[in-house]
Amino acid sequence: MKLPLLGFVLAAGLAAAGCHHAANPTAFNGTFELDTHASRNVPPMMQGHTSVIHLTETAKTFTIAFVFDGDPLNISKFDLDAKTHPLNVGGTAMGSERAWRSRDGRTIHLRIHRPGGVGHPGVTENLVFALGPGGNTIRRTRTVVGGSEPEQVYIYRRMHLTKPKSTAPSPTA
């Protein structure tokens, strides 16, 4: 009788351990700066500039706030439910998106479709955000479905932001 109970307890413990990242989805939270030297196929307009992303991850959403040379650009929020949703940029419908997290919680997949318009064809792109060992880097790959564009690989490094030291005198005994 003790042996089946022990097996059940071990199986439950292993299942809980395997779901740790999915149950605690904050691994991507933080501010990351693009390392243009370690990245591939970075557009020329981004070379020599500072590109930062601030990521916020919850159990249900993934939010990316883009900052370029210190100026906020836009914020994109994705529901991590693997369902197709309207894509809105600045309150304007721009196509559709679908997002999901890998089982181990270390990769987030985005599939974005933008319909064609005057002078440009529609595009479907896959973005994959993969957390590096130790959580200090993110490898973001972008591929265009059926397109002739080369794969982009961006390497982002976590920025360890520190609070400014207080200039107040320290308390004395």
What is the DSSP annotation of the chain? -HHHHHHHHHHHHHHHHHTHHHHS--TT-EEEEE-TTT-BS--GGGTTS-EEEEEEE-SSEEEEEEEETTEEEEEEEEESSS--EEEEETTEEEEEEEEEE-TTSSEEEEEEEE--BTTB--EEEEEEEEEPGGGSEEEEEEEETT--PPPEEEEEEE----PPPP-SPPP--
Query: What does each of the 173 residues of the chain score in pLDDT, given as a tens digit?
Result: 444 433 433 333 333 333 333 434 468 999 999 999 999 999 999 999 999 999 999 999 999 999 999 999 888 999 999 999 998 766 677 889 999 999 988 999 999 998 877 666 788 999 999 999 888 999 999 999 887 789 999 999 999 865 555 455 545 54
Domain-embedded: residue 46: yes
Determine the pLDDT at residue 2.
46
Domain-embedded: residue 169: no
Domain-embedded: residue 109: yes
The domain tally of the chain equals 1
Domain range for 123 is 20-158
Query: Strand 30-34 relative to strand 51-57: parallel, antiparallel, unpaired?
Result: antiparallel
Q: Residue written as tokens 């929020």? A: 77
CATH no. for residue 116?
Answer: 2.40.128.20
Q: Is 74:54 a contact under the CB 8 Å cutoff?
A: no
Domain-embedded: residue 9: no
Domain-embedded: residue 111: yes
Domain-embedded: residue 7: no
pTM of the model: 0.76
Determine the pLDDT at residue 30.
94
Tally the C-alpha atoms within 13 A of residue 74's C-alpha that lie toward its C-beta.
7
Domain-embedded: residue 69: yes
Phi-psi region of 126 (alpha: psi -120 to 50; beta: other; left: phi over 0): beta
Domain-embedded: residue 88: yes
